[in-house]
Amino acid sequence: MCGIVAYVGRKLAQPVLVEGLKRLEYRGYDSAGVAVIDPGGRLHLRKAVGRISNLEDAIENRPLPQAHIGISHTRWATHGGVTEANAHPHLDAGDAIALVHNGIIENYHVLKKFLEEKGYTFKSQTDTEVLSMLVGHLYNELAAARGSDGPFLLKAVQAALHEVEGTYGIAVVCRNEPDTLVVARKGSPLIIGVGDDEYVVASDAAAIVEHTSRVIYLNDNEMAVIRTDQFTTTTIDDIEISPVVQQLEVKLEEYALGDFEHYMLKEIFEQPNALRNCMRGRVEQREGRIVLGGISKVHKELVNAKRFILTGQGTAFHAGLVGDYLMEDLAKVVTECTYASEFRYRNPIIEDSTVCVAISQSGETIDTLWALREAKEKGAIAIGAVNVVGSTIARETDAGIYLHAGPEVGVASTKAFTCQMAVLTMLSLYVGRRRFMSQSQHQELIDAMVAIPEQMERLLNVSQQVCDITRQFVERENWLFLGRGYHYPVALEGALKIKEISYIHAEGMPAAEMKHGPIALINPGMPVVFIATKGSQYEKVVSNIEEVRARGGEVIAIATEGDKDIHRHSRHVVEIPHTLEPLQPLLSVVPLQLMAYHAAVLRGCNVDKPRNLAKSVTVE
């Protein structure tokens, strides 16, 4: 989703800004722009629709002068189409102020009307331009009242933000104050990288990591005024606050593609190691215990909880559904998994002793964040299962279990999903053991969990076989993914993956649900992917397979290694190593991820930057 990079310091701003935008490309965007102020106080703007390379072309055609301060943006359209006029930065009426914005100004209609009545005209259809005009208007009012040119940028931004309803992360520069960068946040992340005589501000650590590892995370309603030689943080109400400088946990090399053709494939293959990192120091096989330091301070509340609510969006929601089965099956506690976007607005009932687990790779998904806030407001204990350290959700929870999957760049989430499931498995073992689970069952699950990374390494060898199978069906526009029990959420995830990156229409559902309607879709040759591993519902899944075959559907079965019978029911079988049923989703999802990947490559799709999608969705 939209990205911000801003710079002030001794280096030239333009390369830092443009390279920073490239680091944010993975988040998804449709246009980009940059504004710099040269030392003489002139403001220069370049914008382009499409890729950052188009912006680079625009700069090459009309080079920017040397400048040491600037702001830049990748836009993912919300208000107004994908046009150069709608791309950020936006200027005020006097072309003196430039502003970039992530988030949504909800009352922009009211503000726009107010400004139009004062004679302002707008070049774009965006909510952001309204904000830049408003800042300019208030700046001019202050200048007129005080009879001087400024500096009023800070005051004008504060005054404008007081009028705004909605969410924002903004960066603003003004040609009257050519050494000053003002940034502010409410609901959209902003991180300030603190270098030597320079500051790089970005909405995502990916754009900062190559410059410095010292960062300040702005909180909601906070802002900063940044000059090369001076730095202050205040609230929007102008109360000074002391910034806390923290260490970035990610490293530059973790963003490197290495020998892989796409980030998605790299991240699929990283899963065994991601899981090892996720379980390190937490799954103690010899002692037979689960150690979760991040939640130890609330461990009594977790063990005595009457109810767990698991919430997230997209892939994180699917991990939550697996968690729902795990918590009820292993921890024996009433659990519900719900879309964060639905949870927030349905006025949920939260009784005493309720734990809400917010599941999120980015830790910034707005729906998940607000669901968490709603649960907290009503008294729930808030736990995070988050990948990005220091992200908003991670900071707003009472306690949490980081995924430690490493940076996930591919838009289609893969390693975060398996680590989310691993975290929820550890949580259910942790709670379960302290409630009703015997040591022997606990140990058996721990032993099986420890074996998963190696099993997964072996499993990844099926990539070519999955590619060959996928090739046979890749022209088909409709696919079904079916599973039962623990594999029902995996079926949903398989369908989501293939939709996201290969644009094939796919549906995932519980296998039994098929005959309540979707069976009408099955026609000769339609690919139907079954997760048919050995487990409590194996026979029932086989019956469902026969129902599909009877109608001419082409079954692709994900089955347990050594299962000879399954070949009688399916021509296409991908074998996965055997493990205990609650852990099977960790393995069964891998062939489905590979299937989606190969389908996208075979169809010539842009795997890592699929159309219309954003990696981190920070608007509702």
> Given candidates 86, 392, 413, 428, which one binds ligand G6P under the rule CB under 6 A?
413
State how far Cα 250 lies from the chain centre. 16
- Greatest pairwise CA separation for the chain in angstroms: 88
User: What b-and-e string marks burial along 257-291, b requiring 16 or more CB atoms within 10 Å of the CB?
Assistant: eeeeebbbbbbbbbbbebbbbbbeebbeeeeebbe
Alpha helices in 383-462 (DSSP H): 392-396, 415-433, 439-459
**Residue 616 binds ligand G6P (CB under 6 A):** yes
**Residue 593 binds ligand G6P (CB under 6 A):** no
**Residue 315 binds ligand G6P (CB under 6 A):** yes
251 assigned to active site: no
2 assigned to active site: yes
Task: Report the interhelical angle of 127-146 vs 108-117 (nearest 10°).
Answer: 50
**Residue 316 binds ligand G6P (CB under 6 A):** yes
Catalytic residue among 112, 266, 497, 615: 615
The span of 67-75, 213-221, 223-231, 408-416 binding ligand G6P (CB under 6 A) equals 408-416
Closer Cβ to ligand G6P, 542 or 607, answer by number: 607
Give kind and range of the element (H or E) at residue 572. strand 572-576
C-beta of 614: minimal distance to ligand G6P in Å?
A: 6
Q: DSSP for 288-330?
A: TEE--GGGGGGHHHHHT-SEEEEEESHHHHHHHHHHHHHIIII
C-beta of 368: minimal distance to ligand G6P in Å?
A: 5
C-beta of 366: minimal distance to ligand G6P in Å?
A: 9
Rule CB under 6 A: which of 347-366 touch ligand G6P?
360-362, 365
C-beta of 501: minimal distance to ligand G6P in Å?
A: 10
Q: How many residues bind ligand G6P (CB under 6 A)?
A: 17
CA distance 528 to 130: 50
CB-nearest residue to ligand G6P: 314
Q: Is the dihedral of CA 498, 342, 338, 188 positive or negative?
A: positive
**Residue 615 binds ligand G6P (CB under 6 A):** yes
**Residue 314 binds ligand G6P (CB under 6 A):** yes
Closer Cβ to ligand G6P, 313 or 463, answer by number: 313
CB 79 within 8 A of CB 88: no
CA distance 609 to 449: 33
Residue 590: both structure tokens together: 């891998």
> Given candidates 411, 462, 558, 599, which one binds ligand G6P under the rule CB under 6 A?
411
Catalytic residue among 2, 278, 337, 356: 2
CA distance 48 to 58: 7
Closer Cβ to ligand G6P, 283 or 359, answer by number: 359
Reference 506, options 516, 515, 493; nearest CA is 493
**Residue 617 binds ligand G6P (CB under 6 A):** yes
> Given candidates 241, 580, 602, 613, which one binds ligand G6P under the rule CB under 6 A?
613
Closer Cβ to ligand G6P, 186 or 615, answer by number: 615
Q: What is the DSSP letter of 218?
A: P
**Residue 77 binds ligand G6P (CB under 6 A):** no
CA distance 180 to 177: 6
CA distance 257 to 264: 10
**Residue 313 binds ligand G6P (CB under 6 A):** yes
C-beta of 420: minimal distance to ligand G6P in Å?
A: 8
C-beta of 128: minimal distance to ligand G6P in Å?
A: 22
Closer Cβ to ligand G6P, 176 or 365, answer by number: 365
Q: Indicate which residues carry an active-site annotation.
A: 2, 615
Site residues (CB under 6 A) for ligand G6P? 312-316, 360-362, 365, 368, 411-413, 613, 615-617
